[in-house]
């Protein structure tokens, strides 16, 4: 090689070597902003005298971006109690749309016959969610009306429910066409006055409790487990009580006739003809149901909401299991830690969720539902619902919107909090298997979440 070529080779090698080395060295990645320093929160959760003896899990994430902010035992499974209603809300938002709820299905056969059946809609003569369209529709129809009451429906009680809560307002029976919320309301007077009973159909079935009947829970009214017979205990003060009744197709027929003041006949097996045109009677916008269900944690509305969702998937069968399976397979798979989900209300202790799963669901809800509408559905701290006495707001209004979840020895909270810096945080705070009074757990949760609001 000539001297000239050798010099040219060395010159090229010297020029290319930096390029070759640069190709092997990765470019520096942009710096990621560090997350908030919440080491104090980890320390508080581990050492709190109120929390340290039971199972605790907490998950925080930015509601807008989904960025995880904090996790403490957030991959462990907990009994969620009524925070389960957030999944039921998601099912309703996904499957029912936003226009109106299906009140009932009906077929008109010829000029003189109307056949109708239930969709699970809970609002017929419900005392707290006024919706009169179904009532007025059935009352005003000129045809002979026939009720098909044998729509396949799950058992009256959900899996894992406590059987001995059958007589309490928070556990009415599920049914394809509820009426009066499937409960009897009693308005008591000081003894010895008899209570006012609504609906009046149950007044003949109500009697003073015999002196030999025990009343260990200091109830105002008790019902026999298998019968619609109600016993009233004397009281020195006025009171109001709500007691579920045993549902049945025969009783529904009687109640409809009693309240509509017209004959309602029982239909035989539902056999639709090729000429039948099945129509849907629409009632209230679904937010009316969602808001009541979430704010006061109404178990009955939550269970019936799953039946309403089931009616959209298969009109001839009201199966909450089908709804849950559909949501699991098509809408929840991308969230962390697949939940064990068995009912709509959270009454069952068979439900199991992780805190980070529920927080991820809250992030998704915030992404899919306009924020003002979403927050308006939930109980607000110092405002209304189950949070009216806690998490008090200031001059700017509430800073906490959430769903409580309480069973004996379990208290949870999941929702959104607005920090003083303006950030909206999705959170799930679970407390399971404690033996302290729930009031102590609630106060400690409020103390910690208030500090999160102040420092995040």
Residue 231 preceded by cis peptide, ω within 30: no
pLDDT surpasses 50 at 342? yes
Backbone angles phi and psi of 376, in degrees to 5: -70, -20
What the chain holds in terms of domains, given with CATH numbers, is 39-96+292-455 (3.40.710.10), 102-284 (no CATH)
Q: What is the pLDDT of residues 281-324, one digit of tens each?
A: 999 999 999 999 999 999 999 999 999 999 999 877 899 999 99
Q: How confident is the model at residue 273 (pLDDT cuts 50, 70, 90)?
A: confident
Cβ atoms of 45 and 71 closer than 8 Å: no
Alpha-carbon gap, residue 74 to 77, rounded angstroms: 8
Q: What is the pLDDT of residues 150-176, one digit of tens each?
A: 888 899 999 999 999 999 999 999 999
Task: Quote the mean pLDDT of the chain.
Answer: 90
pLDDT surpasses 50 at 19? no
Note the pLDDT of residue 211: 82
Would you call 394 helix, strand, or coil by DSSP? strand
Note the pLDDT of residue 213: 80
CA distances from 245 to 79, 97, 228, 447 (A): 28, 31, 6, 41
Q: What is the pLDDT of residues 31-76, one digit of tens each?
A: 344 567 899 999 999 999 999 999 999 999 999 999 999 999 999 9
Q: How confident is the model at residue 353 (pLDDT cuts 50, 70, 90)?
A: very high
Q: How confident is the model at residue 1 (pLDDT cuts 50, 70, 90)?
A: very low
Note the pLDDT of residue 35: 62
CA distances from 106 to 114, 119, 126, 442 (A): 7, 10, 21, 48
């Amino acid at each position: 090689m000539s001297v000239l070529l050798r010099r040219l080779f060395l010159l090229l090698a010297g020029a290319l070597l930096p390029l070759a080395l640069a190709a092997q060295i990765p470019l520096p990645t942009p710096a990621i902003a560090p997350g908030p320093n919440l080491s104090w929160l980890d320390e508080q959760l581990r050492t709190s005298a109120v929390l340290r003896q039971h199972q605790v899990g907490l998950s925080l994430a930015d509601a807008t971006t989904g960025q995880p902010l904090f996790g403490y035992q957030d991959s462990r499974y907990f009994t969620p109690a009524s925070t389960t209603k957030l999944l039921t809300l998601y099912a309703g938002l996904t499957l029912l749309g936003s226009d109106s709820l299906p009140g009932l299905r009906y077929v008109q056969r010829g000029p003189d016959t109307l056949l109708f059946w239930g969709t699970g809609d809970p609002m017929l003569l419900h005392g707290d969610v006024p919706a009169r369209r179904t009532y007025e529709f059935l009352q005003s129809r000129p045809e002979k009306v026939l009720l098909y009451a044998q729509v396949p429906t799950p058992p009256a009680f959900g899996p894992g429910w406590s059987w001995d809560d059958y007589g309490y307002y928070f556990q009415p029976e599920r049914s394809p066409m509820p009426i009066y919320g499937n409960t009897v309301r009693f308005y008591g007077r000081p003894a010895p006055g008899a209570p006012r009973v609504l609906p009046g159909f149950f007044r003949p079935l109500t009697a003073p409790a015999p002196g030999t009947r025990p009343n260990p829970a200091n109830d105002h009214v008790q019902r026999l487990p298998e019968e619609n017979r109600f016993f009233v205990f004397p009281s020195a003060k006025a009171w109001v009580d709500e007691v579920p009744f045993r549902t049945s197709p025969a009783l529904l027929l009687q109640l409809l006739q009693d309240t509509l003041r017209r004959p309602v006949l029982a239909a035989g097996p539902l056999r639709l003809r090729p000429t039948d045109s099945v129509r849907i009677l629409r009632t209230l916008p679904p937010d009316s149901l969602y808001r009541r269900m979430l704010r006061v944690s109404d178990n009955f509305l939550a269970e019936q909401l799953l039946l309403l969702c089931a009616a959209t998937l298969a009109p001839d069968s009201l199966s909450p299991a089908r709804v849950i399976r559909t949501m699991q397979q098509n809408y929840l798979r991308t969230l962390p830690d697949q939940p064990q989900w068995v009912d709509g209300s959270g009454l069952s202790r068979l439900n199991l969720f992780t805190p980070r799963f529920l927080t991820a669901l809250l992030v998704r809800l915030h992404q899919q539902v306009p924020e003002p509408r979403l927050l308006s559905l939930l109980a607000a701290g110092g405002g209304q619902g189950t949070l009216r006495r806690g998490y008090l707001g200031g001059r700017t209004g509430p800073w906490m919107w959430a769903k409580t979840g309480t069973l004996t020895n379990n208290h949870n909270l999941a929702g959104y909090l607005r920090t003083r810096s303006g950030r909206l945080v999705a959170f799930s705070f679970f407390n399971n298997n404690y033996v302290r009074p729930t009031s102590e757990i609630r106060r400690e949760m409020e103390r910690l979440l208030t500090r999160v609001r102040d420092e995040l």
